[in-house]
Structure formats: structure tokens, C-alpha cells
Chain A
């Protein structure tokens, strides 16, 4: 791969990761949001794969395949199962309305790009300049965590943050060691499984997965 094509492909991949994060705020149907998350995982895997091929790093290619399997296939499938089993929570109920959320996402992107100036100057490569995309995706994930109260939305928020962190890791260090990535991926998988169980328990006890119901004690 030539230098400019490589940089272009990475730029596109990073942009898709951020775009998917913003689209999760845009859509209302939880099923659609989870599919967007799968696309984000795919884009992340492509970024890792591109860096791995370019740097001739076999470990990173294995990581890319792992990311593809975990974040684009397994985790979305698990969450989709929760969504399907709970017809009452097919739509998000954002505390902040959608246009305001989107404008906030725009502001957070500005913040990310402004805040990561010093970081990007430390990594003076073409790849390093893409770090703000990861940071912005992470901040959008935090925003989603704060303003969405359904259990599935919370899982989505955590995964957005995790994908943002993973993107920064790939771009800043040209890939983390295999064992670290393996640990992080398994960790996320575990979180998703735990939250899935939690969501099921919530639903069977309270008939809803709305976390605001948890502020009062129930018998």
C-alpha cells in the first residue's frame, strides 16, 4: 500500500468510527443502534488490519481478526438478543431530545479536536493526527451513558467508549500487545454478558429495563 492511500484508508476508517458513534445518538430504534455498533466494530477492525498489514505486524493482524469477531459479530448478536426479548424497550428514551443530543455531539467533537492538540503533536505521523476521532467517539459514548437510561443504551454507551479507546490505542501506538488487547476484549465481552443478565433480571423483577426505576426500593 502506498503512503497516501494508507493514510486515506485509515482516515476513512477513523471517520466511520466517529460517524457511527454520532448515528447511535441519531437513531431511536435500539435494534438499529446495535447494528450501527456492529459497523463501528467492523471499521475498527479494518483500521487495525490496515495498520497491521502496513507495519508487517502479525500480532496486530490477529488482534484485528479478534476485534472483528468480538465487536462486529459476537457482542452485537448478544445485545440484539436482549432487544428482541424485550418488546417494551425497542426504542430509546433519551433524557435530552435528539436534535439537542446531536448538537452536543458536534460540540463534543470540537472539544475532542481541541483537547487532543498536544497529543497529536507528540505523534507527528499521519496516523497520529487521526487520534481526535477516537477521542470524539469516546466522548459521544460518555454522553450516551449520561443521557440514555435504558439498560441496552448503557451497554451501547460503554461499547462506544471502549471502541474509542481501542481506536486511540491502535493509532497512537500502532497496536497494543496481543495479550493486552485480548484482555480488553474479553473484559468487554464479560461486561456485555453481565449487563445482559442484569437487563433480564431487571425486566423479570420490574417489567422494564429503565434504570431510573432503580432509585426507589422495591420489595
Chain B
């Protein structure tokens, strides 16, 4: 391989990842809704319905609250930008994304949190009751999820001796048995709970509701309309896809491209889409059988994730 292709390969790979996640994120949301509809005995909207909704929203007039400051229009753009940057450096299709050495687990998570934080600020910005309530709830859940997330990352990194995500994926590829160690299983369980909480899925938040008592994320973005709302939807869909993609590659990285050749990337893309679709469908099935927990019981769920991650760290120290 020449020096030039070594330079260009990872960049092409990262672009492929961003395009794939941006394109398939909304279809993943459509898939989740479709699976749910089927299990509830409905036909459900077609898979591409969320894409159509977003296209419709992009064509609409740009409407913003009178009192809103510059934060309000900035938040959706920052959300999509940070999620896009996170997608670019995460090993989704290949273990050699551009700036792979900078693909630190902590950097990745805080990149995602930057977008969420700005969205919470934007919820407060319009000065409406719902926005403030949604932001308050979202930030509360985020603050509770964070210790669990940090300890989970610690458990993951301790196993691979690095908090670099491509390095963790590589370590799993070279030693498949390491997935079945208590340390990894505890950490992955905790990560799954945190993903559900951060992704705003049941049982923490119901993405389909607009009932004032229960909505969290929807309340926060209630003031958005038209192209702004479309950007928020795209950003959220991309974030869920990224989180699920990251999760499947930590659980079962097999099929991911270890080079940046065109053929390997194509295989990696197909495998990633298949894995994320399976995990997404499983998530939707799980959601059908769960009720949303009361807001005041969410701390219990996240404390459980925290202890699970803690068990992962402790057992990793001893069982080695």
C-alpha cells in the first residue's frame, strides 16, 4: 500500500461511515416503529416514513420563538455536527477510521454529550414551561447516567489496557473469548442500560408520546419546527444508530473491516447494517413488552447500571 492510499483510505472510510449512518439512521427509526407496529397487530408506516417526514419538514417555513436567542438555532446544527464527528472517528465499518488514535472512549462520549447539552440549553432558551421541564428531566437523567457510563468505560478500557475504541475492538477481535468474561459482560450490560437512557428509549423515555406528564426528550424539542426540527430528528436518529453500532461492535466485532480497502469496507458496511438492524429490532421487541418506569424510579435503573459497571471493574481486577 502506498503512502498516499494509507492517508486517503481512513478518510474515505470515515466519509462512508458518516454517509451510511446519516442515511440509515432514520430508516432505523422506521424499522423500530415497524417492528413495534407488527407486534401490536398494526401494519405500521413504511420504513422510509421518517425520511419522508424529514423531507417535508425541510421544505417548511423556518419558524422560531420571538424570545429565543442565538442558542436556539445553533443547537440542532451543533447536535448534527458533533454526532457526525463522533461517527467519523468511531470504528463502525472499519477499525481504521480517520484520526483513529484520537478515537478515545471518553472523547467520543463527551462529544455526544456536547450536542445533548446544547439541546437542553435550547429547551430552556424559548422560555416555555414544557421546554424547561424537558431540559430539567433530560439533564437529571444525563447526570445519573454519567457515573455509570464512566465506570463502564473504565471496565472496558481495563480489559483492553487502552481507552482507545479501535484498540478495544482490536483486542476483542484477537481474543474472542474475552467477550465472555464477567468483566466484559457486566460492562456491556451497564452500557446497554446507559444507551437506552441516553437514547431516550423505553423504559426511561417514551419516544412516541406527547403527553406532558411523561415526555422528556420530546418536551425539550417541543418549540422546534420546520427545518430546525428536521435537523434535530436527523441528529437524534444518527445518535441512536451510532450508539447501537458502537454497542454491537463492542459485543461482536466480527465482520468489521480491519483494512480500508474498498471490498473490505463494503463487507463491513453490510455486516454493520445487518447487526444494527438485528439489535434495533430486538430493542423494539423489548420496548413492546416494557412499560415506562416512573421518573422517580429511573435513578434505581441507573444505579443498577452503575453497580453493574462497578462489579465489572472489581471482577476484572481479580479474575485475570
A residues engaging B (CB < 8 A)? 4-5, 8, 11-12, 14-15, 18-19, 22, 26, 98-99, 102-103, 105-106, 109-110, 113, 120, 129-130, 132-133
**B311–A18 CB distance below 8 A:** yes
Q: Which residue of A lies closest to B144 (CB)?
A: A99
Q: List chain A residues, Cβ under 8 A from B177.
A: 4-5, 8
User: Which of B300, B315, B317 is in CB contact (< 8 Å) with A102?
Assistant: B300
Q: Which residue of A lies closest to B315 (CB)?
A: A15
The answer to the question of B44 belonging to the interface, with a C-beta cut-off of 8 Å to chain A, is no
**A15–B317 CB distance below 8 A:** no
Q: Given A12-B180, A22-B307, A103-B307, answer yes or no on A120-B318 (Cβ-Cβ < 8 Å).
A: yes
**A105–B314 CB distance below 8 A:** no
Task: Looking at the assembled complex, report how far the CB atom of B143 sits from the nearest CB atom of chain A, in whole angstroms.
Answer: 13
The answer to the question of B208 belonging to the interface, with a C-beta cut-off of 8 Å to chain A, is no
**A130–B319 CB distance below 8 A:** yes
**B303–A98 CB distance below 8 A:** yes
**A106–B186 CB distance below 8 A:** no
Q: List chain B residues, Cβ under 8 A from A120.
A: 318
B side interface size, CB within 8 A: 20
Q: List chain B residues, Cβ under 8 A from A19.
A: 186, 308, 311
Question: 1/0 per residue B281-320: CB within 8 Å of A?
Answer: 0000000000000000001100110111011001101110
**A113–B317 CB distance below 8 A:** yes
Q: Which residue of A lies closest to B151 (CB)?
A: A106
User: Which of B180, B299, B303, B314 is in CB contact (< 8 Å) with A109?
Assistant: B314
Q: Given A15-B315, A110-B314, A113-B314, answer yes or no on A103-B306 (Cβ-Cβ < 8 Å).
A: yes
Q: List chain A residues, Cβ under 8 A from B182.
A: 11-12, 14-15
Q: Given A15-B186, A19-B186, A99-B300, answer yes or no on A113-B307 (Cβ-Cβ < 8 Å).
A: no
Determine the distance from Cα of A1 to Cα of B245 in the docked complex, in whole angstroms: 34
**A106–B306 CB distance below 8 A:** yes
The interface residues of chain B, by DSSP majority, are classed as helix
Determine the distance from Cα of A65 to Cα of B271 in the docked complex, in whole angstroms: 42
Determine the distance from Cα of A113 to Cα of B320 in the docked complex, in whole angstroms: 14
Task: Looking at the assembled complex, report how far the CB atom of A127 sits from the nearest CB atom of chain B, in whole angstroms.
Answer: 11
Q: Which residue of A lies closest to B317 (CB)?
A: A113
User: Which of B303, B315, B317 is in CB contact (< 8 Å) with A103?
Assistant: B303
The answer to the question of B185 belonging to the interface, with a C-beta cut-off of 8 Å to chain A, is yes
The answer to the question of B6 belonging to the interface, with a C-beta cut-off of 8 Å to chain A, is no
Task: Looking at the assembled complex, report how far the CB atom of A109 sits from the nearest CB atom of chain B, in whole angstroms.
Answer: 6
Residue with the greatest number of chain A CB neighbours at <10 A, chosen from B181, B306, B310, B311: B311
Q: Which residue of B lies closest to A15 (CB)?
A: B182
**A8–B181 CB distance below 8 A:** yes
**B186–A132 CB distance below 8 A:** no
Determine the distance from Cα of A106 to Cα of B315 in the docked complex, in whole angstroms: 11
User: Which of A8, A26, A133 is in CB contact (< 8 Å) with B315?
Assistant: A133
Q: Given A12-B182, A26-B300, A102-B304, answer yes or no on A132-B311 (Cβ-Cβ < 8 Å).
A: no
Q: Given A15-B182, A19-B186, A106-B306, answer yes or no on A98-B311 (Cβ-Cβ < 8 Å).
A: no
Task: Looking at the assembled complex, report how far the CB atom of B70 sits from the nearest CB atom of chain A, in whole angstroms.
Answer: 38
**B303–A99 CB distance below 8 A:** yes
Can you offer 23 A-B residue contacts whose CB atoms are under 8 A? A8-B177, A11-B181, A11-B315, A12-B181, A15-B185, A15-B186, A15-B315, A18-B315, A26-B304, A98-B300, A98-B303, A99-B299, A99-B300, A103-B306, A105-B307, A106-B306, A106-B307, A106-B311, A109-B310, A109-B314, A110-B310, A113-B317, A133-B315
Determine the distance from Cα of A136 to Cα of B108 in the docked complex, in whole angstroms: 34
Determine the distance from Cα of A105 to Cα of B299 in the docked complex, in whole angstroms: 16
Q: List chain B residues, Cβ under 8 A from A98.
A: 300, 303
Q: Which residue of A lies closest to B178 (CB)?
A: A8
Q: What 6 pairs between A and B have smallest CB-CB spacing? A: A15-B182, A99-B303, A106-B310, A98-B300, A102-B303, A102-B307
